[in-house]
Chain A
Amino acid sequence: KNQVEQSPQSLIILEGKNCTLQCNYTVSPFSNLRWYKQDTGRGPVSLTIMTFSENTKSNGRYTATLDADTKQSSLHITASQLSDSASYICVVSDRGSTLGRLYFGRGTQLTVWP
């Protein structure tokens, strides 16, 4: 069964600290993996996208890694800010259909405290 599991479910950190969010998936075949940021009451916004051949990709203070062999990805946030408080969703796309079906994780709820 194709699944995307994220950990931790929720995380609280102090402003300025770093943190790492995890994503494990069993989706096969694999096309790409995305990390989205979803603010409360808003729609998700894409942070990074990685294909099979990419190991790491950065977007400002966000750095995503991908290990396609172990089917694991991580999102590292450096020098966290209050505005980083949001849900971070891992999304994996397969190649099994013309739609390129997306499999969503439940997200990690990050809270940054001052």
Chain B
Amino acid sequence: EADIYQTPRYLVIGTGKKITLECSQTMGHDKMYWYQQDPGMELHLIHYSYGVNSTEKGDLSSESTVSRIRTEHFPLTLESARPSHTSQYLCASSAKKEAQETQYFGPGTRLLVL
């Protein structure tokens, strides 16, 4: 079981609200990622970070933003949630030193925007 945590696990909010999805890992990994996954569909990378103060957008365009102030923490923020943001959000981390880099995933946050 990987030491990567996400909160909340489930969130139901109204349109226009600002939300922050939390992700933290205790493995000291440099790289962290956010994925979006709809039911029966593949994971899409929306943000990643190589380390503190480093953030990049992923393959899938997203209105969310991220920050990386501490190695262990990689929160994702939606300034104004919309129904189209309803999805599952998965956070992951991986270590730069591993010969075969494997991503370790958190349990995910299921977001429903009404």
A105 interface neighbour in B42, B48, B104, Cβ under 8 Å = B42
Given contacts A104-B42, A105-B42, A106-B40, contact A43 B101 (CB under 8 A): no
User: Quick check: B102 and A34 within 8 Å, CB to CB?
Assistant: yes
A28 within 8 A of partner (CB): no
* Residues of chain A lying within 8 A (CB to CB) of residue B43: 44, 89, 104
B12 within 8 A of partner (CB): no
The interface on chain B, measured as residues whose beta carbon lies within 8 A of the other chain's beta carbons, has a size of 22
CA distance A46 to B93 in the complex (A): 13
Return the chain A residue nearest B31 by Cβ. A99
| B11-53 vs A, Cβ < 8 Å mask (1 yes, 0 no) | 0000000000000000000000000000011111100100000
A107 interface neighbour in B42, B44, B100, B101, Cβ under 8 Å = B42
CA distance A84 to B105 in the complex (A): 18
Interface residues on A, range: 20 to 34
User: Quick check: B42 and A41 within 8 Å, CB to CB?
Assistant: no
User: Quick check: A43 and B90 within 8 Å, CB to CB?
Assistant: yes
User: Quick check: A49 and B107 within 8 Å, CB to CB?
Assistant: no
CA distance A9 to B40 in the complex (A): 9
User: Quick check: A106 and B105 within 8 Å, CB to CB?
Assistant: no
Q: Which of B47-79 contact A (CB under 8 A)?
A: 48
A66 to chain B, nearest CB (A): 14
* Residues of chain B lying within 8 A (CB to CB) of residue A51: 100
A63 to chain B, nearest CB (A): 18
CA distance A41 to B41 in the complex (A): 14
* Residues of chain A lying within 8 A (CB to CB) of residue B91: 43
Q: Which of A1-44 contact B (CB under 8 A)?
A: 4, 9, 32, 34, 41-44
B: which residues have CB within 8 A of A? 2, 4, 40-45, 48, 90-92, 100-108, 110
Some 12 contacts from A to B, beta carbons below 8 A apart, are A4-B42, A42-B108, A43-B2, A43-B4, A43-B105, A44-B43, A44-B105, A46-B104, A99-B48, A104-B44, A107-B42, A109-B40
